[in-house]
Amino acid sequence: MAKRLVPGWILNLALAAACVAAVAWFWSPAATELISIDSGSAQVLFRKKLCELHPKANVLVFGNSLAGEGFLANAFNKNAREHFALNLGVPSAHWFLLERMAAMAHEQGLRPAVIVLMTAPEHFSERRDFDFLANDLALAKPILTLSDFERLGGQVPTPLDYANHAPPMLLRPMLYSGELRSAMLSPAAHRRQTDALRASLAAVRADEPMVENGNPFTVCEAGPLGTLAERMPALRASATPNLGDYDRVLAGYNARAGVPMAVDARELRRFRRVLRILRAMAPRVIVAPAVYFDPDFTQYPAAFRAEMTRAHAAAAREIPGVELAPALATDCADFMDTVHFNRKGAARFTDSILEAIEGTGHADGL
């Protein structure tokens, strides 16, 4: 007797149902179990945990890794009289993720009195070789909700841009492609990394100091930046202490030196959008334009610096409640590479923010 075949439409329906179920699973909290401790999204989860543990924090600091390394929340909180701060800076965060982190803090019940936004030069100059928005979406995946489809609409200039970036948000496995690849290629190693993240998140406690920058290395030790590349083979051969620091300085310098930089009108619109959103969250918003070590103007040309200065000043004038952080004079002793503060520079920056928020009485340093 001939076997009875299953109709094709039933197989297609079953396959479609399986696909829908898979996508639905990635929309659930269970999908975060795929995130490992070395994933950029892990930093988002750590900052969400801080918000859960400190719902009464009334100073929130947003930005990318410059803020993450540059603001010392423990030192601020030890010396502040009336405020308690959280550092919510996420490495490589651009405008969408900055906005999304603010929304996440609000969803967790935080109602800040002051928000500090640390801006980086890369926030204002478009890079044709890197999709910052796609990167933001991938980083934000554990906290994305349906509301982010509307948020995305405010971040893109054209319907085509929306059509390019919305599908990964809907088909959530696309945002987890890195985790899925790691889980398939090295399942045991990936599981160790995901377990490490779970353990680290569980170890974060409200009564324990928050993780912050303790790096004492200064970019002064790297010598002239323009000749560092040709000196590196000799430094490696001599097993120079802090070789990893030299490598970081060189990598960051090479990534920025000579790259065309110009303030883009689209990025300015996104900057003002984020400022208005932050201003709606808090009565006071302090914008801290990044400072950096670039003595030869090889990373950030003079014209670009002047454009950024004008853009920040205009935003502070135009949006009530927005102000600029006090200028901070720095030199190579304040940086662990050309853009990130070391411990000394972070302490000086944090002290200047504390002084700006609470006024006189904090000028002796942290």
Query: 27 near 21, Cβ under 8 Å?
Result: no
CATH class belonging to 22-216+261-358: alpha beta
Query: Whole-number mean pLDDT of the chain?
Result: 93
The pLDDT value recorded for residue 128 is 80
Q: Which amino acid, 277?
A: I
The pLDDT value recorded for residue 21 is 62
What pTM did the predictor assign?
0.92
Q: Are strands 114-119 and 85-87 parallel, antiparallel or unpaired?
A: unpaired
Q: Which residue reads 């088909």 in tokens?
A: 171
The pLDDT value recorded for residue 15 is 66
Alpha carbons 276 and 146: distance in angstroms, whole number: 22
The pLDDT value recorded for residue 16 is 62
The pLDDT value recorded for residue 263 is 96
The pLDDT value recorded for residue 282 is 98
**What are the extents of the domains in the chain?**
22-216+261-358
Q: What angle do CA 269, 97, 179 make, to 5 degrees?
A: 145
Q: Are strands 85-87 and 59-62 parallel, antiparallel or unpaired?
A: parallel
Q: HSE-up of 85 (CA within 13 Å, CB side)?
A: 31
Segment 157-182, tens digit of pLDDT: 999 999 999 999 998 889 999 999 99
The parts of the chain modelled with pLDDT lower than 70 are: 1-22, 360-366
